[in-house]
Amino acid sequence: MDVLGWLIFLVALLVSVMLHEAGHFATAKAFGMKCTQFFVGFGPTIWSTYRGETEYGIKALPVGGFVRITGMTSIDQVDEEDEPRSFRRAPGWQRLIVLAAGSFMHFVVAAVLIFGLALGIGIETDSTTALGTVATCVPANVTAMDNGTCAAGEAKSPALLAGLKVGDTITSFDGVKTANWTELTNAILAVKPGRPVTLTVERDGHPLTLHTVLATVPGHGSYFGIGASTTFQRPGLFGAISYVGTGFSETVTGSVSAISQIPSALPNLFNKDRSSTSAGDITSIYGAARDTGEAVAANVGWQYKVSFVLLLIATLNIFVGILNMLPLLPMDGGHFAVVLWERVRAWFARLRGRPDPGMVDYTKLVPLSFGVFLILVVFGTMLILADIVNPVNIG
């Protein structure tokens, strides 16, 4: 099952990349630009065929794909008869649409996945205080708590000592009535570790009064040792549309925050407390694939598995869509910024009665583009290595 999860993630990633390229391809074709190649993968060609002027095919390494549009930059060599249909000769607004179409496809994929999840499976909710898990020990640190791991000799959890069982519903905690998980969590955190507490639970329709003493986890505070019982509710058409908007808003905010924290995250990638730092908020393709595999192999209901995988893939698409539009070459956002600068420069020239200065000289941008590419490769390699030797469980 773990291998199946990896395969699901890798196929989803490849499909996302190809849809990204399809966005560029479809818009370029619509504007009459010449597209000579559309390939899945990189490296040696395994198979290809021509349809009109475009060669479609499969490469040996299934790690992405590409579409080749004639005359993307000022330094590309283009046959004289193809120059009128080159990317660089198209109006600025058409070039901007073609460049943005790749990220747009990522956002479409994410929206479809979130919408389909809401309507088909339902939205995960923990609106009640029914218990889905009861921890067996007091974890040594926040990382162990997040991963749900116990080491030999660790003390039993307060929940286990109280006699709680999966399926119990906590109706009050330390004299505070708890109707939902937020109220219960706040009540637990309000109690200092080491102080006795009384709680009321409902088990099989009968009320019970239990007693325990809260423990503490360094970096977290009061610790009880329980987890919510998750249910899925289908919201209906308009509710699903609203869920897409909420999901996009939260993911975009989180993605922008994660990107802004990358410089501060680098020193903590190999820190033993990585999960409690900004480095715990970012993961590599390897880390996301590993988490997908663990989710598929987990001993939980199919709804949770499907929900986790779809939301992870949707989140990844939104993150990649945003990252791709950063104004840095060689990413699409860098080319987008160059076209914008060309149009702004042309507009100022017209105001001053001067001729259009034309396209930006890409020969001057090659060192910058190569430098950014090198930084991305180094950072990606470091992140993958960190996810291998110092993983963070995002599940």
Query: What is the 3-state composition of the chain as percent helix, strand, coil, each rounded to the nearest 5?
Result: 55, 20, 30
pLDDT at 77: 92
Say if residue 146's pLDDT is above 80.
no
pTM, rounded to two decimals: 0.79
Q: How confident is the model at residue 216 (pLDDT cuts 50, 70, 90)?
A: confident
Q: How confident is the model at residue 59 (pLDDT cuts 50, 70, 90)?
A: very high
pLDDT at 127: 67
In a domain, residue 331? The reply is no
Compute the distance between CA of residue 133 and CA of residue 333 in angstroms, rounded to an integer: 45
pLDDT at 390: 87
pLDDT at 305: 87
Compute the distance between CA of residue 246 and CA of residue 225 in angstroms, rounded to an integer: 30
In a domain, residue 311? The reply is no
**What is the separation of C-alpha 233 from the centre of its chain, rounded to a whole number of angstroms?**
23
- When the pLDDT of each residue in the chain is averaged and rounded to a whole number, the result is 89
Total tally of structural domains belonging to the chain: 1
In a domain, residue 190? The reply is yes
SS3 state at 113? helix
In a domain, residue 177? The reply is yes
| Mean pLDDT across 82-92 | 95
In a domain, residue 189? The reply is yes
Counting Cα atoms < 13 Å in the Cβ hemisphere of 160 gives: 12
Say if residue 46's pLDDT is above 70.
yes
Residue corresponding to tokens 């088909």: 120
> What are the CB-based long-range contacts (under 8 Å, 24+) for 212-217?
212/158, 212/159, 212/161, 212/162, 213/158, 213/161, 214/158, 214/188, 215/138, 215/155, 215/157, 215/158, 217/138, 217/139, 217/140, 217/141, 217/142, 217/145
pLDDT at 336: 97
Range of the domain at 165: 131-229
pLDDT tens-digit series, residues 28-38: 999 999 999 99
The residues carrying an active-site annotation are 21
pLDDT tens-digit series, residues 314-370: 999 999 999 999 999 999 999 999 999 999 999 999 999 999 898 999 999 999 999
In a domain, residue 158? The reply is yes
CATH number of the domain enclosing 161 = 2.30.42.10
In a domain, residue 135? The reply is yes
Pick from 75-89, 124-138, 341-355, 379-393: least confident: 124-138
- Percent residues over pLDDT 90 in the chain: 57
pLDDT at 147: 64
pLDDT at 255: 84
Say if residue 163's pLDDT is above 90.
yes
Task: Looking at mean pLDDT, say which of 19-28, 134-143, 199-208 comes out highest.
Answer: 19-28
- Structure tokens given for 186: 């706040």
pLDDT at 164: 93
In a domain, residue 220? The reply is yes
Pick from 33-42, 188-197, 259-268, 318-327: least confident: 259-268
pLDDT at 229: 76
SS3 state at 225? coil
Helix ranges (H only) for the chain are: 2-30, 92-120, 142-147, 158-162, 181-189, 237-260, 262-265, 285-297, 302-324, 332-351, 366-389
Compute the distance between CA of residue 381 and CA of residue 363 in angstroms, rounded to an integer: 28
Counting Cα atoms < 13 Å in the Cβ hemisphere of 264 gives: 10
| Mean pLDDT across 292-296 | 87
pLDDT at 395: 45
Say if residue 393's pLDDT is above 60.
no
